[in-house]
A and B are shown apart, each in its own frame.
Chain A
Amino acid sequence: MKPLLLLFLLMTSINSHAVDSRQLSDPKQQESYETLTKELRCLVCQNQTIADSNAELAGDLRRQVYEMLQQGKSEQEIIRFMTDRYGDFVLYKPPFAGKTSLLWIAPVLFLLMGLMTIFFVIRRKRATAQVQVDALETDIEKQKKIRSLLEKGELS
């Protein structure tokens, strides 16, 4: 059992070190490196950031980001470099533009649709409930009438 456990532990540690990490001397640049690699999409494995991905291209793009930071390029310049080559698709946060407007507006749109649905459902429920109450009230009145008629009949 013990050798198995050891093997398992070794395997997990191999996994967690598979993605290389680079150190920049300037802590501010290091911060830029971390945020940039988490905002750029790996184009080979489309649902991973380049920070997460083990794909060769992701490694090359991390190197590119690292080198550009070393050259003193700003975050905007690096993002520009990437979108010039790979388009907005490379960004996990696409800019608000004509093409992407639906993407940004859709959540609000869906929320409004949901609220409207709830509003109409509640209104309809209320209306039907009122009809039932009305019906019940007329029922009670009818019963009273019947009872009084019956009582009258017994008397005569």
Chain B
Amino acid sequence: MLKYIIPLLLFIILAVFLGLGLKLNPNDIPSPFINKPAPEFSAPKLNAPEQTLTHADLKGQVWLFNVWASWCVSCRAEHPILNQFAKQYAVVIIGLNYKDEPEDAKTWLKTLGNPYNVSIMDTDGRIGIDYGVYGVPETFVIDKKGLIRYKHTGPVSADDVQKIFLPLIAKLEAES
């Protein structure tokens, strides 16, 4: 009897682990940024390159930092959701235009709509490195104290907005 039970148990254990492995997303790398201060930056604005935006300008409010680029296909999928999000809820969305051509980026916003309060340019990807960006689009949620509270890798879906972003933003808004 034992002869049959042991292999069966081993098989079940293996199957459970492999099953769990199938559900994991290999691109979902745990971010070391959670609850750490958002890295400093100072970058020119996309629509007004002579002006700069710094992390200090955004202190005291909850804001989203969305990394996007006109060459990024998944960003195109995400874009209508961000537009909808910006229209329906009063939330500050800052765009990080990552390794992009300013002209392409401007055309992109003109044709697809602009959900961002401000977009800043990161032409050589240095701000991206500071934020540990490895797969565009990425979205960070930053609290009033300037701490990163959540990082979303890949396109944000309508479901994510309802289930993750809105509850989290409401919670962070309630904090002092």
Contacts and interface: CB of A to CB of B under 8 A. Distances in A.
Interface string B64-80: 00000000000000000
B30 A87 contact: yes
B32 A60 contact: no
A56 B124 CA distance: 10
A84 interface: yes
Interface residues of A, number: 14
A25 B29 CA distance: 36
Interface string A66-85: 00000000000000000111
A128 interface: no
A61 interface: yes
Q: How large is the interface on B (under 10, 10 to 19, 20 to 34, 35 or more residues)?
A: 10 to 19
A60 B129 CA distance: 8
Given A56-B125, A60-B124, A60-B125, A85 B135 contact: no
Contacts of A46: 26
A87 B29 contact: yes
B51 interface: no
B129 A43 contact: no
A43 B29 CA distance: 9
A130 interface: no
A85 B32 contact: yes
Contact of B125 (A43, A57, A89): A57
A60 B128 contact: yes
Interface in A36-54: 43-44, 46
Interface string A12-32: 000000000000000000000
Given A64-B129, A89-B29, 8 more contacts: A43-B29, A57-B125, A60-B124, A61-B129, A83-B32, A86-B29, A86-B32, A87-B132
